[in-house]
Amino acid sequence: MRGKFSGFLLVPQIIFIVLYGVFVQYDVQAGPRNASDTTSSEHFDKLYPSKFLFQDVHVMIFIGFGFLMTFLRRYGFGSVGFNFMLAAFVIQWTILIRGCLDLEDIKDGKININLETREITNQPYVSITILISLRFLNADFACGAVLISFGAVLGVLGPIQLIVMAILEVVFYSVNEFVIAHKFQISDIGGSMVIHTFGAYFGLAVSLVHWRPELKDAHPKEESVYHSDLFAMIGTLFLWLYWPSFNGAPAAGTIIGERAVINTLFSLAAAGVSAFAMSSIVDKSGKISMVHVQNATLAGGVAAGAVANLKIGPLGATLLGSSSGILSVLGYAYITPAILQHMNIHDTCGVHNLHGMPGVLSGVAAVIIAKATSPTTYTTLELSAIYPGRVNNLDFQQQANLQLAGLAVTLGISIIGGLLTGLVLKAPFLGSVKHQDLFDDRPYWNSRARNQTIFQ
């Protein structure tokens, strides 16, 4: 894979550098400022909130997703290593692709880079059109989608295939996000549709195309050892701990953001308890499964995503969290095996249970809650951030319809995009994984270990 793999990384990297030189510039905030500008010190006070929540999201992408997938005993380097490679790549790629779709920026022919919301001093609530200027946060969100898809095909696709998948998925992801967030103006603060549902069904569609009969039976390397499961818990816990920041980051520093954090905290706690309880129920000897603890406990974060900034109340948040934890365990116990046996879709990490179903659940909850909204639920200021389309038109049935359409569009684009991408990845020069190398990263990795077989 020597020259080919490097080429698939270096050629895009060179293109990135050239395009960054031509099209990307600092936003005014990070750029020059007149020495007599008396508002500049004022600005500093506004700089922090999203920056700090961004750091938490950053940890989730690289530590969270990376270590969550290290549960496989022979694919630890591949999990945390390819996760790192893909995320570093996707951040740069998304800033370009997503920037091109940003009409406001295209006007002056440049993509503006900042860490912060613009003009936050002028309006206390962050409006959805401003959100997308948080380019690095947005890029990390795109990484989320790609890494979820990676989880579906972990150990089944090779590194060149993964890079090509990432290149294509970011395009589909950005189009979907642009359509449902900007055109439909749906509410999805934590990206349950945009990121989780999209990433899961995209990955499952790729996995369907790359079905191999030998995946039907338990593969001898598709298993964990004691310590690989402990490494995976590092990923689980950092995801669980920082998920409130993930759902709150797009509205950081506002009351809406605070509500998103509170609702997500409740939902995650309830999902955690419920997942432990269900895990024991579905086992015939009543044992708890590490697979469920590592994954289903996190479903509460996904389920809260599309409604975290809404007034669902502590009741709504704990109900949603408990339901998603239970749903996710049932998915691992019954739905994933059924999909494997009857639909020929192999899902290494069970992303359908952690991201797919809870994402759809959250999207459906967002439809119901939009419908139940009354004109007095939110102030105009809040509406401009939550449902910008409703500021001048208080028809909440229409918002519910748009939310449902957004969910349908997401499912459509992700599945079609995944199938097309899967077909592209069949190209023989992209290096498919040999049978004996499934769930084994040693064909791709060197280390200082002289005897590579000492540890599984």
Q: Which residues in the 227-246 window bind its own copies by CB under 8 A?
A: 227, 229-231, 233-234, 237-238, 240-242, 245
Residues 6+ apart with CB under 8 A from 413: 172, 175, 176, 179, 198
If one asks whether residue 213 binds its own copies (CB under 8 A), the answer comes out as no
Binding segment for its own copies among 45-53, 181-189, 207-215, 418-426 (CB under 8 A)?
Answer: 45-53
Would you give the binding string for its own copies spanning residues 79-108, x where CB under 8 A is met? Answer: -xx--xx--xx-xx----------------
Write the DSSP assignment of 133-145 as a string of letters: T-HHHHHHHHHHH
Phi, psi of 24 (to 5 degrees): -110, 135
- Rounded least distance, CB 210 to its own copies, Å: 21
State which of positions 129-148 bind its own copies (CB under 8 A): 136
Write the DSSP assignment of 294-354 as a string of letters: HHGGGHHHHHHHTTTTS--HHHHHHHHHHHHHHHHHHIIIIIHHHHHHHH----TT-HIII
State which of positions 166-195 bind its own copies (CB under 8 A): none
Binding residue for its own copies, selected from 187, 247, 322, 362, defined by CB under 8 A: 322
State which of positions 362-391 bind its own copies (CB under 8 A): 377-382
* Helix or strand (DSSP H, E) at 68: helix 65-68
Q: Which lies closer to its own copies via its Cβ, residue 44 or residue 429?
A: 44
User: Residues binding its own copies: what is the number (CB under 8 A)?
Assistant: 139
Residues 58 and 48: their CA atoms lie apart, in Å, by 15
Binding residue for its own copies, selected from 161, 341, 413, 454, defined by CB under 8 A: 454
Residues 304 and 322: their CA atoms lie apart, in Å, by 11
Residues 284 and 349: their CA atoms lie apart, in Å, by 22
- Rounded least distance, CB 412 to its own copies, Å: 31
If one asks whether residue 223 binds its own copies (CB under 8 A), the answer comes out as yes
Residues 325 and 273: their CA atoms lie apart, in Å, by 8
If one asks whether residue 43 binds its own copies (CB under 8 A), the answer comes out as yes
If one asks whether residue 355 binds its own copies (CB under 8 A), the answer comes out as no
Would you give the binding string for its own copies spanning residues 149-168, x where CB under 8 A is met? Answer: ----------x---------
Is 428 exposed, middle or buried, given 0-12, 13-18 or 19+ CB atoms closer than 10 A?
exposed
If one asks whether residue 314 binds its own copies (CB under 8 A), the answer comes out as yes
* Helix or strand (DSSP H, E) at 254: none
Residues 6+ apart with CB under 8 A from 397: 371
If one asks whether residue 330 binds its own copies (CB under 8 A), the answer comes out as no
Binding residue for its own copies, selected from 171, 175, 179, 319, defined by CB under 8 A: 319
Binding residue for its own copies, selected from 151, 158, 272, 356, defined by CB under 8 A: 272
- Rounded least distance, CB 35 to its own copies, Å: 4
If one asks whether residue 58 binds its own copies (CB under 8 A), the answer comes out as yes
Residue with tokens 């020597």: 2
Phi, psi of 113 (to 5 degrees): -110, 125
Binding segment for its own copies among 177-185, 204-212, 265-273, 364-372 (CB under 8 A)?
Answer: 265-273
Binding residue for its own copies, selected from 224, 295, 328, 399, defined by CB under 8 A: 224
